[in-house]
């Protein structure tokens, strides 16, 4: 049955439609593999056996295809804890719109994946429950905050998983685990039912092992929703139809040279990125060097804005309305304080403190308001470049997966994991990371960023690259 482990959605769906396999066999094979290997990986928090859909075959290729969902995306009637003790017993009364759309397409959820607490982190180490490990080397982190989703897909537990991005939490773990990871345009996917971290950047994204599968899941979850006022009110496009294996005629890719030459970039990593560029060029892309100096201010800008929004969003966890409530309290104030002190982990508290500071009277203009002004400049710089080039090529991370605990004494160093990713979140533009080889037997990736709603072009380009390379066919030995 293990032969099913690394089949794509596309392959599983065609086996199903030819009646060569039953949905129950697929589900059982996934669950067996998780039971056998997840003790070493810690990628899941809860596994549920879904009801397969024996109704007339759905039109969607996701019909009866199992996947996993990050623990900060609500599944109806299931615990959704955002990796936090404060929501340990929170049972969601509704499903996130993205989850509902997947259900509508007949996809099956096998449960929820481990993640950093409230999606705050880059290593999965802030999860209140357990560590997650990188299937390519279990002494290393799978990245974060959607580390569990990435580890589960890379380990062949399921062909797809949902994650969420605020500053890079899908692309970074995807790159560190050798996967395709998409961060759609802000508003492309409804945030309804995604537990908020920093609402002006939060987006649900997708992990898969192939570009086709990623495009399929993203087009399923994207689109209109009256529960989210920031969603783009446009029908979801068909990304699959653009996957021709060829690049768009005359495709111009801007190579972000200041990112590629950034201080601290692993030399072997850079070599892999240059090879990926050569490949894109051989497929017909025109490469032009561009420099985006504003990108160098993105991490600091992201730091301020994300903390400010987090402090506001997390004010709702007061021990009364949701989740954990402290016992033995002597006043209402005491109840609030103890519930929050006992329920939140260290990193979340640190961010709430910083967020309240940057928003406080006397400091807001200096920190929060200037960060918002810089953010507008970052977006403008991207838009100016997209007047000249179709897409931008950049690294996702400066190095392959790091050891668990490597940044324990240096949280600011950990924050630099977002250095190349968070500008796309600040600008609201789509970005997808694609695997492009190995450095010291660990996977690495590059990202393509594009103007608003250019997901189709990004997938088309990534698909042509994927068809010309073999990275997506390589899997870790568990
Ligand atoms: N690592 C970043 C942070 O901790 C990004 C997290 C995310 O995208 N959710 O804020």
Q: How far is the CA of 79 from the centre of ligand 1 (A)?
A: 22
Please tell me what DSSP assigns to residue 4. G
pLDDT of residue 56: 56
pLDDT of residue 399: 95
pLDDT of residue 356: 97
Phi, psi angles (nearest 5°) of residue 379? -60, -40
Report the alpha-carbon distance of residue 56 to residue 11 in Å, rounded: 20
Report the alpha-carbon distance of residue 230 to residue 464 in Å, rounded: 32
Our answer to whether residue 190 is catalytic in this structure is no
| Protein residue closest via CA to atom 5 of ligand 1 | 167
Q: Domains in the chain, ordered, with CATH?
A: 2-254+387-473 (3.90.1300.10)
Q: How far is the CA of 168 from the centre of ligand 1 (A)?
A: 6
Number of the ligand 1 atom closest to the C-alpha atom of 306: 10
> What SS3 state is found at 160?
strand
Please tell me what DSSP assigns to residue 23. H
Q: Please, where are the H alpha helices in 42-167?
A: 97-104, 147-154
Cβ atoms of 95 and 74 closer than 8 Å? yes
pLDDT of residue 57: 57
> In the numeric block, which tokens belong to residue 436?
């492009």
User: Can you list the residues of the chain whose pLDDT is less than 50?
Assistant: 1
Active-site residue among 169, 182, 190, 339? Answer: 169
Neighbours of 451 (CB within 10 A): 19
Report the alpha-carbon distance of residue 399 to residue 422 in Å, rounded: 16
- Of the chain, the end-to-end C-alpha distance in Å amounts to 15
Q: How far is the CA of 181 from the centre of ligand 1 (A)?
A: 14
Q: How far is the CA of 428 from the centre of ligand 1 (A)?
A: 15
pLDDT of residue 381: 98
Which residue carries 């397409």 as its tokens?
105
pLDDT of residue 416: 81
Torsion over CA: 372, 168, 297, 396 (sign): negative
> In the numeric block, which tokens belong to residue 251?
């495709």
Ligand 1 pocket by C-beta < 6 Å: which residues? 119-122, 145, 164-169, 197, 306, 417-418
Our answer to whether residue 169 is catalytic in this structure is yes
Our answer to whether residue 312 is catalytic in this structure is no
388, with CB counted inside 10 A (0-12, 13-18, 19+), is exposed
| Protein residue closest via CA to atom 10 of ligand 1 | 120
pLDDT of residue 1: 44
pLDDT of residue 423: 98
Q: In what order do the strands lie in the sheet with 180-183?
A: 44-47, 108-113, 66-70, 160-165, 203-208, 180-183, 431-439, 442-449, 391-395, 252-256, 286-290
Q: In whole angstroms, what separates CA 166 from the centre of its chain?
A: 8
> In the numeric block, which tokens belong to residue 309?
């929004």
35, with CB counted inside 10 A (0-12, 13-18, 19+), is exposed
E-assigned strands of 327-430?
Answer: 391-395
Report the alpha-carbon distance of residue 68 to residue 138 in Å, rounded: 20
Mutation test of ligand 1: which of 124, 166, 398 has the most ligand atoms closer than 8 Å to its C-beta? 166
Asked whether the whole model's pTM tops 0.85, one would answer yes
């Amino acid at each position: 049955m293990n032969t099913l482990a690394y089949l794509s959605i596309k392959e599983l769906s065609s086996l199903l439609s030819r009646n060569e396999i039953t949905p129950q066999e697929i589900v059982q094979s996934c669950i067996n593999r998780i039971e056998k290997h997840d003790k070493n990986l810690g990628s899941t928090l809860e596994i549920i056996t879904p009801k397969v859909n024996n109704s007339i075959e759905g039109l969607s290729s996701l019909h009866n295809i199992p996947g996993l969902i990050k623990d900060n995306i609500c599944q109806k009637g299931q615990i959704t804890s955002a990796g936090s003790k404060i929501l340990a017993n929170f049972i969601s009364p509704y499903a996130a719109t993205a989850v509902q759309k997947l259900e509508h397409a007949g996809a099956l959820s096998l449960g929820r994946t481990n993640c950093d607490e409230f999606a705050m982190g880059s290593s999965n180490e802030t999860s209140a429950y357990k560590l997650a490990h990188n299937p390519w080397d279990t002494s290393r982190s799978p990245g974060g905050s959607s580390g569990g989703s990435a580890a589960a897909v890379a380990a062949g537990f399921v062909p797809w998983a949902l994650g969420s991005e605020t500053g890079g939490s899908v692309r970074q773990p995807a790159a560190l685990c050798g996967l395709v990871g998409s961060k759609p345009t802000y508003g492309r996917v409804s945030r309804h039912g995604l537990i908020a971290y920093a609402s002006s950047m939060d987006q649900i994204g997708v992990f898969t092992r192939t570009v086709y599968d990623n495009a399929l899941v993203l087009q399923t979850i994207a689109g209109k929703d009256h529960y989210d006022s920031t969603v783009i009110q446009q029908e979801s496009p068909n990304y699959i139809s653009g996957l021709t294996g060829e690049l768009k005629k005359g495709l111009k890719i801007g190579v972000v040279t200041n990112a590629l030459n950034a201080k601290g970039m692993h030399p072997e990593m850079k070599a892999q990125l240059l090879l990926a560029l050569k490949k894109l060029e051989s497929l017909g892309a025109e490469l032009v060097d561009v420099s985006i100096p504003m990108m160098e201010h993105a991490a600091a800008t992201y730091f301020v804005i994300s903390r400010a929004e987090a402090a506001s969003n997390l004010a709702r966890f007061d021990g009364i309305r949701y989740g954990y409530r402290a016992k033995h309290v002597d006043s209402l104030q005491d109840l609030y304080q103890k519930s929050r002190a006992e329920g939140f982990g260290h990193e979340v508290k640190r961010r709430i403190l910083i967020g309240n500071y940057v928003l406080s009277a006397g400091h807001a203009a200096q920190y929060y308001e200037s960060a918002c002004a810089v953010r507008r400049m970052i977006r403008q710089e991207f838009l100016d470049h997209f007047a000249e080039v179709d897409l931008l090529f950049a690294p996702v991370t400066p190095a392959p997966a790091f050891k668990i605990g490597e940044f324990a004494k240096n949280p600011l160093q950990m924050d630099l994991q977002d250095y190349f990713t968070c500008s796309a979140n600040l600008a609201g533009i789509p970005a997808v990371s694609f695997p492009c080889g190995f450095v010291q037997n660990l996977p690495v990736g590059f990202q393509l960023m594009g103007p608003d709603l250019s997901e189709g072009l990004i997938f088309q380009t990534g698909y042509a690259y994927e068809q010309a390379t073999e990275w997506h066919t390589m899997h870790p030995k568990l």
